Amino acid sequence: MRELLRVRGGAAGGGRIDLAAYAPSAIPAGPSDRAAGRAVTAALAEPLAELQERLYAASTAGGRRRLLLVLQGMDTSGKGGTVKHVIGLFNPSGCRITAFKAPTPEEREHPFLWRVEKALPRPGEIGIFDRSHYEDVLIARVRGLAPREVLERRYGEINAFERALAEDGVTVVKVFLHIGWEEQRERLLRRLDRPDKHWKFDPGDIEERGMWPAYQEAYERVLERCSTDAAPWYVVPADRKWYRNWAVSRLLLEHLEEMDPRYPPAGFDVEACRARLMAG
Amino acid sequence: MRELLRVRGGAAGGGRIDLAAYAPSAIPAGPSDRAAGRAVTAALAEPLAELQERLYAASTAGGRRRLLLVLQGMDTSGKGGTVKHVIGLFNPSGCRITAFKAPTPEEREHPFLWRVEKALPRPGEIGIFDRSHYEDVLIARVRGLAPREVLERRYGEINAFERALAEDGVTVVKVFLHIGWEEQRERLLRRLDRPDKHWKFDPGDIEERGMWPAYQEAYERVLERCSTDAAPWYVVPADRKWYRNWAVSRLLLEHLEEMDPRYPPAGFDVEACRARLMAG
């Protein structure tokens, strides 16, 4: 499944990315409908939690490996919903979740990767970024928050940063939640319809929506420049929430299976400990 | 239910606590067996998640309130299992979980509450401490890690600290997971029986077990001195995992219901936003 969603960008030998060619309502390789999708996703909970436990267990014996899920996408694309429904399948104690907002004054005084480094998963953990360092080449590009040459440099800095992470044992899984223009409108309207969803709505979301083409182009550049062998991007069609949840769960499962973490052997004398416990 | 498990300690007008009078295998006010317990606990997931969402939503409009669950108990009492099964019912993005280990050299250079303050939940969040500042009057007392007069002073410092938290909008729920001596032996033996549980076993756990009476006494002093109106202690019988999960879930539910968080009203013109969205 993951090969199907993987972006073959410039750095990985591919060419131009045209997001218009990706249907946000598609369900590639997925279950055929919502009921099946939910059932199959729920069935992934057990293998995911076991792989997570193995990963954590390995870290107690000095293993350095961990996984980092990076979630990007337009407003309402389902970043928060993915954390709730997919990361909710894991043991919360091994998850390190960070939602990146507009940088604070302190963060703005540091290089853009500073706050990201502080939020990285520790060995054995699963890290989740709801938005990430990619905002510094997305909103920063669309809103002109940095000179063009700085933006250009950042793609390379990001690739070097992620390569270093991979060399340090971090499996980086970058997911672009791809929703369509009409689906976003419906989701924003639904938030307005329900008083219990008003807190999720920000009139600023309408301004951002007005820059939709510029954002799509900024995402295309990201997918072209920063989908590397060390840290590929995956485009997940996200108009259907059940498909999105299934696809991200599957991506995590496939990466964890490939990592194949193992329970460490006992570093003590099991029989001697048993005898002491029986005696005491 | 919470009044039943609540400790009436010295600070709250009660007298001496004798843990021998609390049966670790009891199931006060709970479902009658495991199947029923699991079903009832699972049914709490939806109301818990909704209350959590309301709490978080309120914080987006400036609300300061949050909840802090403090978990303490002997090795194998189920602190980690409670996080997995009870906190797993919540949306992970609103949970801030910290497992406190032996203090690092940096932490030892600071007052004992320093590392705790850094781990507090932010407004709208649910914080979870797997062990806590209470270790500084538990293992510190049993192992003599601090002079007796320092230990004595800490009870008062803890009470003042927790009172200040309550005044700042933090609902503090302190749970002592109470397991029995024989149940601990069985759980430790089970970890030895299963190679996939060896990573959870530390021969040092046997040394700690050897100090069981001193630990029980240290817990009794904590329950007497630090169960306050601002931050009461609850003793949860923990020999039965299903009861423990149900009881902690119920405690959280009752506290969240009492907090009664509300979705904030829209801070913008809903109809104007709707019109803009329809037009664009």
- Residue linked to tokens 């019988």: B237
CB pair distance less than 8 Å for A92 and B99: no
pLDDT value of position B14: 62
Residue (of A168, A175, A171) closest to A67 by Cα position:
A171
Q: Is the pLDDT of residue B11 over 80?
A: no
Residues 6+ apart with CB under 8 A from B241: B78, B81, B85
Residues 6+ apart with CB under 8 A from A191: A76, A197, A198, A200, A201
Q: Are B67 and B258 in contact (CB under 8 A)?
A: no
Q: B74-99 in b/e burial notation, b at 16+ Cβ within 10 A?
A: bbbbbbebbbbbbbbbbbbbbbbbbe
Picking from A85, A91, A262 by the largest number of B CB atoms within 10 A of its own CB, the best residue to mutate is A91
Q: Is the pLDDT of residue B82 over 60?
A: yes
pLDDT value of position A27: 95
> Which stretches of chain A drop beneath a pLDDT of 70?
9-14
Average pLDDT over all residues of chain B: 96
CB pair distance less than 8 Å for B280 and A209: yes
pLDDT value of position B121: 98
CB pair distance less than 8 Å for A199 and B90: no
C-alpha distances in angstroms, B37 versus A131, B1, B176, B239?
39, 15, 20, 14
Residue A55 to residue A255: CA distance in whole angstroms: 12
Residue A208: exposure state from Cβ atoms within 10 A (0-12, 13-18, ≥19): middle
Residue A150 to residue A155: CA distance in whole angstroms: 9
Residue A214 to residue A139: CA distance in whole angstroms: 9
What is the per-residue pLDDT across B40-68, written as a single tens digit (0 to 9) for each? 999 999 999 999 999 999 999 999 999 99
pLDDT value of position B15: 79
3-state secondary structure of A71: strand
- Chain A contacts of B277, Cβ < 8 Å? 185, 188-189, 192, 206, 209
A73 CA to chain B: closest CA distance, Å? 17
B84, B206, B263 ranked by CB distance to A277: nearest: B206
Q: Which residue of A has its CA nearest to B50?
A: A196
At B274, list the tokens.
Answer: 């709707």
Residue A113 to residue A133: CA distance in whole angstroms: 6
CB pair distance less than 8 Å for A199 and B263: yes
What is the per-residue pLDDT across B186-230, written as a single tens digit (0 to 9) for each? 999 999 999 999 999 999 999 999 999 999 999 999 999 999 999
What is the per-residue pLDDT across A43-66, written as a single tens digit (0 to 9) for each? 999 999 999 999 999 999 999 999
pLDDT value of position B98: 97
CA atoms within 13 A on the CB side of B164: 9
Residue A124 to residue A256: CA distance in whole angstroms: 12
At A204, list the tokens.
Answer: 């600023």
Q: Which residue of B has its CA nearest to A279?
A: B185
A152 CA to chain B: closest CA distance, Å? 31
Picking from B85, B86, B93 by the largest number of A CB atoms within 10 A of its own CB, the best residue to mutate is B93
pLDDT value of position B10: 59
Query: What is the CA A94 to chain-centroid distance, rounded?
Result: 16
- Chain A contacts of B124, Cβ < 8 Å? none
pLDDT value of position B280: 78
Identify the DSSP state of B32.
S
Q: Across residues B128-156, what is the average pLDDT?
A: 97
Q: Are B68 and B277 in contact (CB under 8 A)?
A: no
Q: Is the pLDDT of residue B241 over 90?
A: yes
- Chain A contacts of B78, Cβ < 8 Å? none
Percent of chain B with pLDDT over 90: 95
- Chain A contacts of B201, Cβ < 8 Å? 266, 268, 273
At B210, list the tokens.
Answer: 């050897």
Residue A215 to residue A200: CA distance in whole angstroms: 21
Q: Which residue of B has its CA nearest to A188?
A: B277
What is the per-residue pLDDT across A203-214, written as a single tens digit (0 to 9) for each? 999 999 999 999
pLDDT value of position A8: 83
ipTM of the complex: 0.94
pLDDT value of position B8: 83
Predicted model pTM: 0.96
